[in-house]
Structure 1
Amino acid sequence: MPNVREVTIGLLRELGMTTVFGNPGSTELPMFRDFPADFRYVMGLQESVVLGMADGYAQGTKRAAIVNLHSSAGVGHALGNVFSAFKNQTPLVVTAGQQARSILPYEPFLFAERAAEFPRPFVKWSCEPARAEDVPAALHRAWLVAMEPPCGPTFVSIPIDDWDRDCEPFRMRTVHAIRAPDADAIAACGVALSKSKNPLIVVGAGVARDNAWDHVIALAERHNALVKVAPMSARCSFPEDHPLFAGFLTAGREAIVAALAPHDFVLALGGPMSLYHVEGHGPHVPAGCDVWLIGDNHVHAAWAPAGTAIVAQCDMAIELLLQGPPPTARPQHAPRQPLPPLDGAAMTDAYVLQQIAALRSPESIIVEEAPSSRGPMHDRLPIVRKDTFYTTASGGLGHGLPAAVGMAMARPNDKVIAVLGDGSAMYAIQGLHAAVQHKLPVSFVIIKNNRYEALHHFGQHFGMQELVGTKFPELDFCLLAQGHGLTARRATDAASLDEALRWSFAATGPTLVEAVVL
């Protein structure tokens, strides 16, 4: 009879999860006895980095990735990026080791107490199997739940002595989920859209997850509807050089209402529209504005403060909307005027982002975690191709650098550019090592302003003129890169910036550019 490890390896192979991301400890090692040659183990030097790499890989492959962590300590280190994966709706199967069942009554060293509860509420499902022979079934259920929309991470705790126990062969099951929208609800939405005088489409990350980029373009062009991006959207869902592109919504109640005010109909696709970062007051939508929301996440539908919600895949819903009644005649919109180019006399984050846009290939992939530079990025670094922009939906730091590594593994033929703030980069700097180990052509561009700029911005919001402990001019990212095995260059002015970016974007291995800004 085979053992649990052999049956599990066969299951993972059938599921296509032959790349394992992890940072193992003693309680995980038996999983890797006789590790098969067709599998790949990707080591991360810290567990949050492991989660971030797996997140980027899963988003790039559009399939659940498997993560292997060490008992409670490893899960605890990784929880910040488990939270990010949950908000990103990234399918992950997270496993963690547990001490041997025979000594669990004695609270042994490095055991996990109430292991299945620890990562909640930021996993969709979690368990510690009741018997060793239930491990393959638990992992298969975890995969099914992770891949079921809305996708997200799941968790399985596995005792150390389970792997060598006898186990009956396991047969995978197939689950067919109904994801089609309610036809009557879509028909009602289509009628309201066709009759509106000045419709607006708001796109969120779900448009990208549902591969509905082209669908949204067709819908916007059919109805001559302007398109804005939802607040804090973590993916690209509409070409930012399109004549109907109208910019980005701000994550504040009053700002959203003001942006929606000219429109009598709003269709929010693929994510929350009323997402707030600061306290606000007043209505959530303008008076007389008919709001409809379509996306695969029933939780978003439930907490939305206004509008009629339809839980459905965006691509399927838009296909039905495109078959709806023709629109009324509407005046043409004047396209947004580009900002005048910056001359580089001042080395600002806006100038760095402008030059990244000018020197990169439009097909290259931007993985971003530079929160205080998000506004200049919207202005100066347009995203014009589908599936070429990724950031964290959680707002937590430490996701972007390792996610870029995982993305490069998932899409080895594409150039990946990680645009990172200096503070963000330090949360996961160990991820550079994995990029070197696997010879990944990632360009890490660190926007170095020597401080937590986002905190200084919010300090002003709260009337605080001075913040403690938020400046760190001593950091040297070129030396940090070299310590991890990367080559790096520092840019302090326009000339050195262009030279460094051209060098990095042309490289076939990992490189780092430290762009020092005002």
Structure 2
Amino acid sequence: MGTVREATFDVLRRHGLTTIFANPGSTEVSLLTGLPDDLRFVLALHEGSVVGVATGFALGREAPALAVLHTTAGLGNAVGAIATARVNRAPLVILVGQQDRRHLALEPFLAGRLAGLAGDYPVRVDQPVRPQDVPGAVARACHEAVTGRGPALVVVPMDDWDAEWAEDVVAAPTRVVRPAVVADADLAPLVTLLSGARAPAIVSGAGADWGSLVTLAERLGCPVFQESFGGRAGFPQDHPQYAGVLPADRARLRAVLGAYDVVLAVGAPVFRQYPYVPGPLVAPGTTVVVITDDPSEAHRSAADLAYLASPAALCTRLSALLPAPGPPDAASVVEGSAPAIGADGARPSAR
């Protein structure tokens, strides 16, 4: 016989969530008092900083990170950082404190209406029905954060942690395997398109994988632009093929991409903009392809062809299928290359 708290700690250990980023309040005291020695506590002085540091930790190690927030005020202060984590595809598990379950119906002080407070930015918000459902909810949040590539919230009333745990079932798998296989037949249209391209270009975003994208860019010998307003670099900016940040209005976007007949957006939407300017995103004659594992990003992109798949797996296989490039002539180098551009879309006179 143990407690829900102890069972949840076992879940955290199993998923490598042994560093806890927090700015706790009274509704989290029962969770955090007397932590075991193998769990590391990191204090931040504002909830936005808590989620921001956890976001960097998750992106740096390419695995979920754990944050603990206070009830209404704490979660409310963190919403901006939660939105940023979602845009940057950071897998986070966020435990949010709640008042004692036994008198929630009376809406005591610090009772929070928490389910919708962060809007649509979490990939999942769970409010377990029983204290004994908390360990399973945390385990599921780990899986949801990885699959959805964003923050998964679990709201836990403060008395749940000390509840008895004598359950045989945790409502989540111990391990999730996510195979990413891209059939060559499905890639054939893209291979044909890129093989016949006169001047291809790549647009990278937060969902791109650096290693596979560098290989693909070098195989194509093409410039790589960063999506505008990308909070996370999708391509190494010291690489010689890095061409700068795309402009954020349609007129300048058409001008910059006008030299290219195929534009491949990898891990980025087609295309992130800010001021509204009428007209198409690209000039006539430019074919746009998007590769993303985010369904909403694929479904809203104004592309001629969309692949909903792992960018890393797809780019790796695509590089293997493309023919080796021949030596370019001087005209194609001039026509198919692009000097770096700044965030405002201006082109410098020299590199």
The 3-state SS of whatever aligns with 1:206 is coil
**Mapped partners of 2:279, 2:287: distance in 1:** 17
Write out aligned runs for 1:245-264 (5 A): 245-264=242-261
The alpha-carbon distance between structure 1 residues 242 and 159, as it changes in their structure 2 partners (threshold 3 A), is: closer
Q: Residues of 2 paired with 1:244 and 1:159: CA distance?
A: 52
Shift of 1:53: 1.3
Instruction: Measure the CA separation in 2 of the matches of 1:43 and 1:25.
Output: 12
- Report what 1:302 is aligned to: 299
User: Residue in 2 aligned with 1:317?
Assistant: 314
- Aligned-residue Cα RMSD (Å) equals 2.5
* 1:110-121 alignment, distance < 5 Å: 110-113=110-113, 115-121=114-120
Q: Structure 2 counterpart of 1:312, which letter? A: A
Distance 1:90 1:337, change over 3 A: closer
CA distance 1:247–1:119, shift in 2 (3 Å): closer
Offset, 1:57: 1.3
Name the counterpart of 2:159: 161
Asked if 1 retains the 8 angstrom alpha-carbon contact of 2:203 and 2:227, the reply is yes
**Aligned CA distance change for structure 1 residues 76 and 337 (closer, same or farther; 3 Å):** closer
- The equivalent of 1:144 in structure 2 is 143
> Retained in 1: the 8 A contact 2:69–2:94?
yes
**Which consecutive aligned stretches of 4+ in structure 1 deviate over 6 angstroms post-superposition?**
335-339
| Corresponding position of 1:354 | none
Q: Pick closer, same or farther for the CA change 1:46–1:247 going to 2, 3 Å.
A: closer
Cα pair distance change 1:244/1:85, threshold 3 Å: closer
Distance 2:110 2:140 in 1: 26
Could you tell me which amino acid in structure 2 is paired with residue 141 of structure 1? R
Report the Cα distance in structure 2 between the residues aligned to 1:262 and 1:222, rounded to whole angstroms: 19
Structure-2 separation of matches of 1:124 and 1:230 = 23
Cα distance between partner residues in 2 of 1:338 and 1:253: 18
Deviation at 1:338, TM superposition (A): 8.6
2:94 partner amino acid: V
Q: How many residue pairs were aligned?
A: 341
Aligned to 2:202: 201
Q: Summarize deviations over 1:418-463 as a string: whole Å, max 9, x none.
A: xxxxxxxxxxxxxxxxxxxxxxxxxxxxxxxxxxxxxxxxxxxxxx
Q: Which amino acid aligns with 2:89?
A: Q
Please state how far the C-alpha of 1:161 moved relative to its aligned partner. Answer: 0.9
8 Å CA contact retained: 1:252, 1:278: yes
Q: Distance in 2 between matches of 1:182 and 1:145?
A: 26
> Equivalent residues in 2 for 1:80-159 (5 A)?
80-113=80-113, 115-148=114-147, 150-159=148-157
- Secondary structure of the corresponding residue to residue 2 of structure 2: coil
Q: Which residue of 2 aligns with 1:497?
A: none
2:222 to 217, 222, 225: 225
Structure 1: gaps of 5 or more residues: 340-372, 383-518
- From the superposition, tell whether residues 374 and 197 of structure 1 become closer, same or farther in structure 2 (CA, over 3 Å): closer
Match for 2:144: what amino acid?
A: V
**Kindly, what percent of the aligned residue pairs are identical?**
35
Change (3 A) 1:47 1:4: same
Q: 257, 264, 268: which one pairs with 1:267?
A: 264
TM-score (normalised: structure 1): 0.62
Q: Distance in 2 between matches of 1:58 and 1:121?
A: 20
Q: Secondary structure at the match of 1:201?
A: strand
Specify the alignment match of 2:71 in structure 1. Answer: 71
2:247–2:343 contact (8 Å) kept in structure 1: no
Partner Cα distance (1:56, 1:62) in 2: 10
Aligned-partner residue type, residue 153 of structure 1: P
Q: Structure 2 vs 1, CA of residues 214 and 49 (structure 1 numbering), >3 Å: closer, same or farther?
A: closer
Q: Kindly tell me: are residues 336 and 243 of structure 1, through their superposed partners in 2, closer, same or farther at Cα, counting changes over 3 Å?
A: farther
Alpha-carbon distance in 1 for matches of 2:108, 2:90: 33
Residue 51 of structure 2 corresponds to residue 51 of structure 1: yes
**Equivalent in the alignment of 1:177:** 178
Residues 89-141 of structure 1 deviation map (CA, whole Å, 9 limit, x = unaligned):
1111111111111111111001012x222223110011110000000000000
Alignment of 1:464-483 (within 5 A): none
Q: What is the SS of the residue equivalent to 2:96? A: strand
What's the CA shift for 1:310? 0.3
What residue number does 2:281 align with?
284
Residue 337 of structure 1: CA displacement? Answer: 6.9
Question: Can you list the C-alpha shifts for 1:204-232, whole angstroms capped at 9, x where unaligned?
Answer: 2222xx3xx23323322322222222222
Deviations 1:341-362 (A, max 9, x none): xxxxxxxxxxxxxxxxxxxxxx
Map 1:19-34 to 2 at 5 A.
19-34=19-34
Gaps of 5+ in 2: none
- What is the distance in 2 between the residues matched to 1:305 and 1:219? 23
Does the Cα contact within 8 Å between 1:195 and 1:328 map onto a contact in 2?
no
Do 1:231 and 1:273's aligned partners in 2 also have CA atoms closer than 8 Å?
A: no
> Shift in Å at residue 241 of structure 1?
4.3
- What is the identity, as a one-letter code, of the residue corresponding to 2:138? L
SS, match of residue 224 in structure 2 = strand
For 2:97, what is the secondary structure of its paired residue? strand
Asked if structure 2 preserves the Cα contact closer than 8 Å seen for 1:196 and 1:328, the reply is no
Normalising by structure 2, we get a TM-score of: 0.89
Q: CA deviation at 1:156?
A: 0.7
Q: 1:140 to 1:268 in 2, by over 3 A?
A: same
1:145 deviates by 0.2
CA contact (8 A) 2:215 2:316 kept: no
Amino acid at match of 2:177: H
CA distance in 2, matches of 1:75, 1:216: 36
- CA 337–190 in structure 1, closer or farther in 2 if over 3 Å, else same: closer
CA distance in 2, matches of 1:95, 1:305: 37
**CA distance 1:182–1:255, change in 2 (3 Å):** farther
Deviations 1:363-404 (A, max 9, x none): xxxxxxxxxx9559x97xx9xxxxxxxxxxxxxxxxxxxxxx
Tell me the amino acid that sits aligned with residue 101 of structure 1.
Answer: R
